[in-house]
Amino acid sequence: MASSAPIGVFDSGIGGLTVAREIMRQIPGETIIYFGDTARVPYGSKSKKTIITYSRQIVRFLQTKNVKAIVIACNTASAFALETVASEVSIPVIGVVKPGARIAAKATRNGNIGIIGTEGTISSGIYNTYLSETNPTVNVYGKACPLFVPLVEEGWLTDPVTVEVAKRYIKELLSYDIDTLVLGCTHYPLIRHTIGDIVGNNVTLVNPAYETARELKKVLEKEGIESTATAGEHKFYVSDGAEKFQKFANTILPCEVVETKDINIESFADSLI
Amino acid sequence: MASSAPIGVFDSGIGGLTVAREIMRQIPGETIIYFGDTARVPYGSKSKKTIITYSRQIVRFLQTKNVKAIVIACNTASAFALETVASEVSIPVIGVVKPGARIAAKATRNGNIGIIGTEGTISSGIYNTYLSETNPTVNVYGKACPLFVPLVEEGWLTDPVTVEVAKRYIKELLSYDIDTLVLGCTHYPLIRHTIGDIVGNNVTLVNPAYETARELKKVLEKEGIESTATAGEHKFYVSDGAEKFQKFANTILPCEVVETKDINIESFADSLI
């Protein structure tokens, strides 16, 4: 695979842009092909079987763009589909959960770690698995926060309603004396200030995006496929609402998004599955 | 078409059950085949093109069950896809918007009507179109309420957060001196008490489900295909999460839902489209 090939990054919608942003910052020579599954967002309440089907379609689409590596920039899809899709392709596939768990295990001082995420991510117990592997002595407390994604999508990032909902969700975790809280959904960094105000200065917020970009860099170097040139034009694809997506992307990315294309992601279905 | 054939009813998820419930009450001799597109819920933020694609797939699925009529128990799909799918099949297809508009036009005394619904339903302006056709003198004020569906799905039906969100959304409409408010999304009847407390006794809440079931009854009679027997067993299908759906359905339907099947709705895609 040529080192000049792009990196595929995908998410259920806009959340994964927080990961794309981190990749652009840390390895600015890489070109990104981003896919947001805006027609079928949210992923957080869907079953493992459905998330695997959707992820396979997206991986097939990204492969038509000749990507050299894929980043699953969605916790739910990382939890449910990473293992399956990674075993089906010959390029590296990286999720956000393992890097997030690794950094949380390093960050905690008292061994009590909270995880907030979608219903799917929390019920999968995947953070617990990775955290236990890294450090068997930590205590992990998970809490599903299903209203955070719609509140972010509504743009109520610091609204009193969002503050009230966040207090409600996080209260229970604080009762366990956590000193570290993983933002286990790529939408959540967009409300990190609201969450930070509630948990206070003694709790470290962990954003897996940073560590994911670091891991990607290491993998590219290990495989000898890191870009040696300047990045080309990042390209953005969605399954619905290209205009709305592009407007949002331009508010959070360091580059200008000049074009976003709508594609029919269902047409990448494999009839054998 | 045999009068003993079932009625197809579909929605993006659980909301359409409020319409199915009304059909069961008003025409208890009819058998229902319900489909909830739980894998791709919500529809409210999606484009017209995507909603037409999804609705066509569902209509094709319902036709494999030999339905004699179809009720689109979703305002967004009624707004975007009714005309298209109705022109492509030879059985009657009924939406919820026209019946809702008709009853609102009858209910208003001062001519000021509010509509709450999803982003798609409100931006389509379809309630305005139908209301103007029925009564050109009415003033119609629409407000999109994107957080209502996730709040209902979270089960926070009378929660203080839902009350605060509802106040925020409805405040603007009340400033227009509305005396009638259409619950323009089939999820909203599930929070009608919260909404009713905010708007007060002087505002009539219109639930299109009641009028939709009445219209269905009339259409079946006109076509001479009304059931003359006792209803068979209603059948429920979803695109994801059958168990969760069934649990919810059993809390709101007058019949017991004994089985809900997961189907792969994408496999009903027409490759010609």
- Non-local (6+) Cβ contacts of B238 within 8 A are B13, B35, B36, B37, B38, B39, B245, B260, B261, B262, B263
Q: Start-end ranges of CATH 3.40.50.1860 in chain A?
A: 7-96+210-268, 97-208
Contact B87/B56 with Cβ under 8 angstroms? Answer: no
Of residues B74, B173, B206, B213, which has the active-site annotation? B74
Each residue of B38-54: pLDDT tens digit? 999 999 999 999 999 99
Specify the amino acid at residue A171: K
Interface confidence (ipTM) of the complex: 0.85
Q: How far is A214 from chain B (nearest CA, A)?
A: 33
Each residue of B140-186: pLDDT tens digit? 999 999 999 999 988 899 999 999 999 999 999 999 999 999 999 99
Cα B265 → chain centroid: 19
Q: How far is A10 from chain B (nearest CA, A)?
A: 17
Q: Residue B117 pairs with which residues in a beta bridge?
A: B144, B184
Question: In sequence order, which ranges of chain B are alpha helices (DSSP H)?
Answer: 17-26, 48-63, 75-88, 97-107, 119-124, 126-134, 148-154, 160-174, 192-199, 208-223, 242-252
**Location of structure tokens 């299903």:** A146
pLDDT band for A129, please (50, 70, 90 cuts): very high
Contact A257/A246 with Cβ under 8 angstroms? Answer: yes
A150 and B CB contact within 8 Å: yes
CATH of A97-208, one of 3.40.50.1860, 1.20.1260.10, 3.40.1390.10, 3.40.50.720: 3.40.50.1860
How many percent of chain B have pLDDT more than 70?
99
Each residue of A229-271: pLDDT tens digit? 899 999 999 999 999 999 999 999 999 999 999 999 999 986 4
Residues of chain A numbered 13-72 and touching chain B (CB < 8 Å): 38-40, 45-47, 49-50
pLDDT band for A273, please (50, 70, 90 cuts): very low
Specify the amino acid at residue A263: I
Q: Do B164 and A168 touch (CB under 8 A)?
A: no
**pLDDT at residue A2 in the model:** 86
Find the CB nearest A47 among B153, B241, B269: B241
Backbone angles phi, psi at B253, to 5 degrees: -90, 150
Which pair of structure tokens corresponds to residue B139? Answer: 């003033």
Q: Chain A partners of B47 at a C-beta cutoff of 8 Å?
A: 240-241
What is d(CA A121, CA A79) in angstroms, rounded to the nearest whole number? 6
Q: Which CATH class is domain B97-207?
A: alpha beta
- Non-local (6+) Cβ contacts of A170 within 8 A are A114, A116, A143, A181, A195, A198, A199
A242 and B CB contact within 8 Å: no
A241 and B CB contact within 8 Å: yes
What stretch of H or E contains A220? helix A208-223
Q: Chain B partners of A150 at a C-beta cutoff of 8 Å?
A: 146-147, 149-150
Residue A272 has pLDDT above 70, yes or no: no
- How many Cβ pairs closer than 8 A exist between chain A and B? 57
Each residue of A19-44: pLDDT tens digit? 999 999 999 999 999 999 999 999 99
Find the CB nearest B39 among A50, A151, A164: A50
- Neighbour-count burial of A135, counting CB atoms closer than 10 A to its CB (0-12 exposed, 13-18 middle, 19+ buried): middle
- Average pLDDT score, chain A: 95
Find the CB nearest A40 among B40, B164, B168: B40
Q: Do A241 and B46 touch (CB under 8 A)?
A: yes
What is d(CA B8, CA B135) in angstroms, rounded to the nearest whole number? 31
What is d(CA B114, CA B203) in angstroms, rounded to the nearest whole number? 10
CA angle A179, A96, B47 (to 5 degrees): 115
Selection from A185, A139, A147, A222 nearest residue A15 by Cα: A185
Instruction: Work out the number of other CB atoms within 10 angstroms of the CB of residue B3.
Output: 15
Q: Chain A partners of B149 at a C-beta cutoff of 8 Å?
A: 150
Q: What is the CATH number of domain B7-96+210-268?
A: 3.40.50.1860
Long-range contacts of B195-198 (CB under 8 A, 24+ apart): B195/B116, B195/B166, B195/B170, B197/B163, B198/B163, B198/B166, B198/B167, B198/B170
Residues of A at the annotated binding site?
11-12, 43-44, 75-76, 186-187
A151 and B CB contact within 8 Å: yes
Q: Start-end ranges of CATH 3.40.50.1860 in chain B?
A: 7-96+210-268, 97-207
Q: Do B147 and A150 touch (CB under 8 A)?
A: yes
pLDDT band for A1, please (50, 70, 90 cuts): confident
Of residues B27, B103, B115, B185, which has the active-site annotation? B185
Residues of A known to be catalytic: 74, 185
Q: How far is B147 from chain A (nearest CA, A)?
A: 7
pLDDT band for B273, please (50, 70, 90 cuts): very low
C-alpha distances out from residue A163 to A76, A198, B92, B172, Å? 24, 8, 47, 22
Q: Chain A partners of B39 at a C-beta cutoff of 8 Å?
A: 40, 46, 50
What is d(CA B71, CA B51) in angstroms, rounded to the nearest whole number? 15
Find the CB nearest A150 among B40, B150, B161: B150
